[in-house]
Amino acid sequence: MSNAKPSLKIAIAGLGVVGSEVARQLINRSDELALAAGKMIQVVAVSARDRSVNRGVNLDGIDWYDETHKMAERDDIDIIVEMIGGSEGVAVDLARAALRSGKHVITANKAMIAHHGAELAQLAEANDAHLLFESAVAGGIPAVKTLREGLAGNKITRVAGILNGTCNYILSTMETTGRGFEEVLADAQRFGYAEAEPSFDIDGIDAAHKLTILAAIAFGQKPDFSAVSIQGIRDVSSVDFTYANQLGFRIKLVGVAEPGLMPRMETCLLPLDSQLAKVNGVLNAVEFHGEPVGSVLAVGPGAGGCATSSAVLSDLIDIAAGRGGLPFGRSINTLADATAVENCAGPDKPFYVRLMVVDQPGVLATLTGILQKHSISIEGLLQQGRAPGNAVALVMTTHETSVVKLGIALDEMEKLPIVKAKPVAMPIMLADKEM
């Protein structure tokens, strides 16, 4: 390739698993990527906390910055690739500085976009810069591009997805092995699927960041993490998989966004033959419903250096080829405030409820009496074995009811001496288009 060909100069902030893989791809495949981009993409600067780490790529001749913000001050840098992470601090300060100086920003930082996406998009538009974040959602799945470009002509009616590979691995493994949550979580940490402090994953926060971004693009609203309802997977027990299977369901952590409703991360029961129920292990999946397209499902690796760097490279090539576009698919001034969305978890739905109750006469009558008082009807009951005088699992499925009414009823049950643990409730998705 001729040296006279124009080049795009980039700086990479953060050389962890993803940042290092991005650097490897750009350095080792420079000519090949230039063909796709229409120009050379040259790494000219990097920043990371530890220079001594062997990152598997030769960084000779590339400027190293201990103070990350100084990369935004260089006039010759075109793009900052932010791989630091975190919703506050160095990452967002760097993004602000870069955009104010007219530099494009590519980031895998879903927390930053979920919390500050509207502000950063405003800065990008005001300074004729691009802000791209394909790698922030679902790793190697082009979820953002699918919504923002491939389905741009559709009226999106629903986005649903399995957005966290750690949770999907834990739930899939619990189902297939019968092992408990804590044991499987420890395995996930040992294999590198879960962090040493796993709260962001297992409490649904990581997935909710991604859902915030998808909802913003799908429904033309400013990203607002505070407007998302979040439930994690900590309360799921191995016994729940036994009962769910008997009922013809599989347990998954699913994010759902619909127009006019609060986006929600929910641990729910999916029919065994549904598309999302068949996505197991560390895979992610995003399902789009719209008019006129109908239903579109995208499945792939949701995390890791290779999958996430693939999305970063896609954004780099888009900018190089003049396809950057607007961050959320339309001008920031046309986006609605997410806080104006009705704080509603959607229409009434059936629920799976598990109670640990004392095995003694009269228990069922007491529980059903509470449900009747709150106008909640039972569809089915399941109990395996007997243990007179001891606690046993009692599972019931309800007909359609509201989250609020069920919550009040379960709070009342939890106070009873015959109920020995906090009740567990999960919505039942009756079909791929209902939740």
Strand order in the sheet with 63-65: 63-65, 40-47, 7-13, 79-82, 104-107, 131-132
Whether 210 is catalytic: yes
Strand order in the sheet with 283-291: 229-230, 264-271, 249-257, 155-162, 283-291, 294-301
The reply to whether omega before 423 is within 30° of 0 (cis) is no
Q: Which of 6, 43, 47, 45 is nearest to 22 (CA)?
A: 43
> 326, 121 in Cβ contact below 8 A?
yes
Measure the CA–CA gap between 263 and 283, rounded to whole angstroms: 21
Q: What is the Cβ-side half-sphere exposure of residue 108, based on CA atoms within 13 angstroms?
A: 32
Reading the block at residue 49, the tokens are 């906390």
Catalytic residue, candidates 103, 210, 222, 252: 210
Measure the CA–CA gap between 356 and 341, rounded to whole angstroms: 37
Radius of gyration of the chain (CA): 24
Amino acid at 270: L
| Residue numbers annotated as active site | 210
